[in-house]
A and B are shown apart, each in its own frame.
Chain A
Amino acid sequence: MADPRQDLRTPYGSMSRNLSRRTFLGLAAGAVTSALLAACRREAEQAGPPAPGQTPGPSPTPAAAQTAGPSPAPAEPTPRQEAVRGVEIPKFDNPPPGRPSGSKPEELVIAWGVNQLTTYGIDPQRHVGTVAESQLRHMYEPLVAFDRDLQTIVPALATSWERIDDLTIQFKLRQGVKFHNGEPFNAEAVRYSILRPLSDETPGASRSTYAVIEDVEIIDDYTVNIKTSRPDPALLARLTGFHMTIVAPKWASQGPEVVSREANGTGPYRLVSWSPNEDLVLEANEEYWGDPPEIKRVRLVTITEQATRVSALRAGDVHVATAMPPEEIASINASGRARALRVVGNRVPFYFITIEVPPYNDKRVRQAINYAANVQGVIDAILLGNGYRIATVLPIWAFGYDPTLEPYPHDPEKAKQLLAEAGYPNGIDIKIWYIQGRYPKDKEVAEAMAQEMAKANIRCTPELREAATLTDMQKNKETPGLVFASWGNWFFDADNTFFPLFSCAQAKDYNFDWRRPYCNEEFDKIIQAARVEMDVEKRRQLYAEAQRFFYDDAGALFMYQLVDIYGVNNWVLWEPRNDEMIWAHEMKWNE
């Protein structure tokens, strides 16, 4: 009778163990789905004091800290940030590196489970996938970037910035930076690069996210004004995005074919070799404007099978491997060659609910589903604790996240009662549409929730489909019920979750089919107002309001943030990031 799992769980509490496989992957489905750029949220903070002489309090803080060029101290939290965020990121008690075995590797090998460089090659400005971003950001940089806390925006190719009016931010550019091919980095390069993914010739896959950018004015060689068509409180965060990386303009104007197979950025690594479906090989850029990376040669590879990644890690063929299975954590740590490191990740799986179809059109039914699914129980049992339960669909570090909102508890009795009130005293029969193999334990989680819901008389028919098939079925409105989705909010701002997933504008863009089944006018008013609200505090309150509405309306089946589990060879010193970025320049050899 003893329950092994129970014993195992205790030491870690709810946040426990491993995470499952990493989430990357953009959803191929909607063009937009996956990308992660990190931008928005920072902007919001800064934008706060937009109005010129507004208040004494929050001056555009980052700017102050950054005038100095290099090595800007990790932006100290300003009062404003405390107010905005203040959300502590849970930490795992990760094992320290053990003794390296064998001789020091000649190159660092990082393995992902998916290859996203199949559509646009190694053109950094057109992909939306997280894996592609993680890989190509070794070579390309944006003007500004999120710090590891995902709450502070720090200088990258821009050294300082200042909001001039509601429509304009002025950037001072870093001087003396050269692209890998020797071209100088200057205002012309910035103008060219920022407008490039917005153009019709080389449209980025999530161009609509940046469409608010109207123009880039060159003030002098090292000063630009970025102008938007409407007030955009998230502009600065938006500019941290993957599409907003800076490419060498003369070289890139040779055309997209060239950019898709060569690389000339300003980043800490330069391209050695790549061809489609081959490894991406990089070497350190010794002329990098910051500290050159300590690891000189890097190979980025794809190993699709999870079990193969695990054995490659064990064999020492791979030094950093993504998405390790939770069950393998103990054995990886015991291997003496590598260790499993865990962080709360940025990816949020959830289920759309087709709210136009009975019985899902009744809010009480949707609430009942949320009460019955026992998400925390599923996290504990199936993911061995490697998921972080959240109240809605916003990651905890997103601007606008409301930490006071408690997730739906597991309450089958309440669920039954809600169903009875809605006129279904005998329960309901629903369908759950899901995929397999893309995210950690996606299939098991879906089936476990179906099992749990059955205990509250919500009888689920499991409908497992291949991802592309499911997308087609959503287009044809053939998926009534709960439909799997996953989102990585790449600039950590509520706008970049609510607007692309749950706004009426987006539903309309998708022809009101079931790739975006949620459109509620009352909710829409709130999120539209927040989109242009330049006052940080007011904007934050708008999003708090939006979350409460969305939570009460049970607009989706709310789940968790994935916990990312990395296998890391003992030769490598590294602290994993929360935003799914795996960068060799943040690693060192353990010598």
Chain B
Amino acid sequence: MAGERASVPTLLTPFADVRARRSAMQRALRLLRRNRLGLLGTAILSTVVLAAILAPFLTSYDPMIGDITKRLTCPVLTWCPSFMPGATPVRGSLDHPLGTDQLGRDIFSRIVYGARVSLIVGLAAVLLGAGFGSTLGLVSGYYGGRVDALIMRIGDVFLAFPYLLLAIAIVAVLGGGLLNVIIVLAIATWVPYARIMRGSVLSAKEQEYVIAARAIGVRDLALLFKHVAPNCITPIIVFGTFNVAAAIIAEAGLSFLGLGVGATRPTWGNMLADGRAYVATAWWLATFPGLAIMLTVLSINMIGDWLRDALDPHLRNIE
């Protein structure tokens, strides 16, 4: 019994093995401890995620409703510019630590609530795009032939359009809204996942464990999802991580262009777009959401770097 278990799994599913996975995870964590950037990225992202989850407890202002008489209040520790002749400059206060926007809404509240939209869009778009794309890539690579040609040619057509342009075109047809933005970003990004997956599958399907599984009569579907897919998923995870950052930026871009989740919802892109008109007079409107986007995207990229190293079998011996 024991001998059988020791030999068969190594032949069939070396990486999918539970023990192997656990050790990969341990290795990743070990690597993380040594990777300061990865650690920093994780810390920043955890903060953003926590803030998004705990938004109602962190803020005392409604992100949607402001007080127009407190419009364009400057952040704490700064002096508000005077818009009228004879006006006395006023100092920002802790009431609104990051100031208020053009409608008197608290910018800190909007950034915290905006994190929800950004994270949801980033994660959901990637999960959807990666799921859809890698499934097609799996099918394409495994079956080859006409199916492969068809899927890949369709993919080529998608790739022929610039990413954001394609997203804009689809939003123009479907209309805005959170769900639509997610769908749009998924549609606009599925091709690279399909290609990566297909490439991995092409090499994996020639491996002995796949041939062996087929030889003992494992059916196509089970073979694909139980044996092939788990061994090809690593590059998808790494690529997907980077893409979360790209999706957050894309959502901000769409919102900036007025094609996002709705004009008054607190999203970082909306805040940037609204703040743009005030860059010369009220710098804080565009600065803070811009910083939020930058930090979040940066942290995700740092995590992506770390994951790439951690999950790369070729780097395994380097530690």
A contacts, CB < 8 Å to B? 1-9, 11-12, 16-17, 306-307, 310, 325-331, 333, 377-378, 381-382, 384, 436, 443-444, 447-448, 450-452, 454, 462-464, 466
- A-B pairs, 7 with minimum CB distance: A464-B263, A381-B68, A4-B90, A327-B281, A8-B87, A8-B84, A327-B83
With CB as the reference atom, state the residue of chain A lying closest to B71.
A381
Q: Does B271 contact A (CB under 8 A)?
A: no
Cβ distance B104 to chain A, nearest Cβ, rounded Å: 7
Cβ-defined contact, A5 with B70, below 8 A? yes
Cβ-defined contact, A327 with B278, below 8 A? yes
Contacts of A1 in B (CB 8 A): 93, 95
Contacts of B69 in A (CB 8 A): 3, 5-6, 377, 381
* Residues from 7 to 38 in B contacting A, C-beta threshold 8 Å: none
Is chain A's binding surface mostly helix, strand, loop or mixed?
helix
With CB as the reference atom, state the residue of chain A lying closest to B91.
A2
Cβ-defined contact, A5 with B264, below 8 A? no
Query: Can you name 17 A-B pairs with beta carbons within 8 Å?
Result: A4-B89, A6-B69, A7-B87, A7-B90, A306-B277, A327-B282, A329-B84, A330-B82, A330-B83, A377-B68, A384-B84, A444-B102, A447-B264, A450-B264, A451-B66, A451-B68, A464-B258
4 additional A-B pairs beyond A3-B69, A3-B70, beta carbons within 8 Å, are: A4-B89, A11-B85, A378-B68, A447-B103
With CB as the reference atom, state the residue of chain B lying closest to A306.
B277
Q: How far is the CA of A443 from the CA of B84 in the complex (A)?
A: 22
Q: Contacts A378-B68, A464-B258 given: A330-B264 contact, CB under 8 Å?
A: no
Please report the number of residue pairs spanning A and B whose Cβ atoms sit closer than 8 angstroms. 97
Q: Contacts A381-B68, A451-B66, A464-B263 given: A4-B95 contact, CB under 8 Å?
A: no
Contacts of B104 in A (CB 8 A): 381, 451
Q: How far is the CA of A16 from the CA of B104 in the complex (A)?
A: 19
Cβ-defined contact, B65 with A5, below 8 A? no
Cβ-defined contact, A325 with B277, below 8 A? yes
Q: How far is the CA of A307 from the CA of B278 in the complex (A)?
A: 9
Cβ-defined contact, B90 with A307, below 8 A? no
Cβ-defined contact, B68 with A382, below 8 A? yes
Cβ distance A313 to chain B, nearest Cβ, rounded Å: 13
Q: Does B88 contact A (CB under 8 A)?
A: yes
Cβ distance B150 to chain A, nearest Cβ, rounded Å: 36
Contacts of A452 in B (CB 8 A): 68
Cβ-defined contact, B103 with A444, below 8 A? yes
B contacts, CB < 8 Å to A? 64-66, 68-73, 80, 82-90, 93, 95, 102-104, 258, 262-264, 274, 277-282
Which of B73, B82, B95, B263 is close to A462, meaning CB atoms less than 8 Å apart?
B263
Cβ-defined contact, A448 with B84, below 8 A? no
Q: How far is the CA of A5 from the CA of B100 in the complex (A)?
A: 12
Which of B64, B71, B277, B279 is close to A5, meaning CB atoms less than 8 Å apart?
B71
Contacts of A325 in B (CB 8 A): 277, 281
Cβ-defined contact, B281 with A328, below 8 A? yes
Q: How far is the CA of A95 from the CA of B278 in the complex (A)?
A: 24
Contacts of A8 in B (CB 8 A): 82-84, 87
Cβ distance B174 to chain A, nearest Cβ, rounded Å: 14
Q: How far is the CA of A326 from the CA of B281 in the complex (A)?
A: 10
Q: Contacts A2-B90, A5-B70, A327-B278 given: A451-B84 contact, CB under 8 Å?
A: no
Cβ-defined contact, A307 with B280, below 8 A? yes
Contacts of B282 in A (CB 8 A): 327
Contacts of A4 in B (CB 8 A): 72-73, 80, 82, 87, 89-90
Contacts of A447 in B (CB 8 A): 103, 263-264
Cβ distance B96 to chain A, nearest Cβ, rounded Å: 11
Q: How far is the CA of A498 from the CA of B93 in the complex (A)?
A: 49
Cβ distance A237 to chain B, nearest Cβ, rounded Å: 37
Contacts of A377 in B (CB 8 A): 68-69
Contacts of B85 in A (CB 8 A): 11, 329-330, 333
| Interface hub of B65, B95, B263, B282 (most chain A Cβ within 10 A) | B263
Cβ-defined contact, A382 with B87, below 8 A? no
With CB as the reference atom, state the residue of chain A lying closest to B70.
A3
With CB as the reference atom, state the residue of chain A lying closest to B93.
A1
Which of A16, A17, A436 is close to B258, meaning CB atoms less than 8 Å apart?
A436
Cβ distance A389 to chain B, nearest Cβ, rounded Å: 15
Cβ distance A511 to chain B, nearest Cβ, rounded Å: 25
Contacts of B66 in A (CB 8 A): 451
Q: How far is the CA of A447 from the CA of B64 in the complex (A)?
A: 10
Contacts of A463 in B (CB 8 A): 263
Cβ distance A317 to chain B, nearest Cβ, rounded Å: 17
Contacts of B65 in A (CB 8 A): 451, 454
Q: How far is the CA of A377 from the CA of B104 in the complex (A)?
A: 12
With CB as the reference atom, state the residue of chain B lying closest to A449.
B68
Contacts of B277 in A (CB 8 A): 306-307, 325
Contacts of B86 in A (CB 8 A): 11
Q: Contacts A11-B86, A448-B103 given: A443-B263 contact, CB under 8 Å?
A: yes
Contacts of B278 in A (CB 8 A): 327
Cβ distance B101 to chain A, nearest Cβ, rounded Å: 9
Contacts of B274 in A (CB 8 A): 443
Contacts of B281 in A (CB 8 A): 325, 327-328, 331
Q: How far is the CA of A5 from the CA of B70 in the complex (A)?
A: 7
Contacts of B72 in A (CB 8 A): 4-5, 327
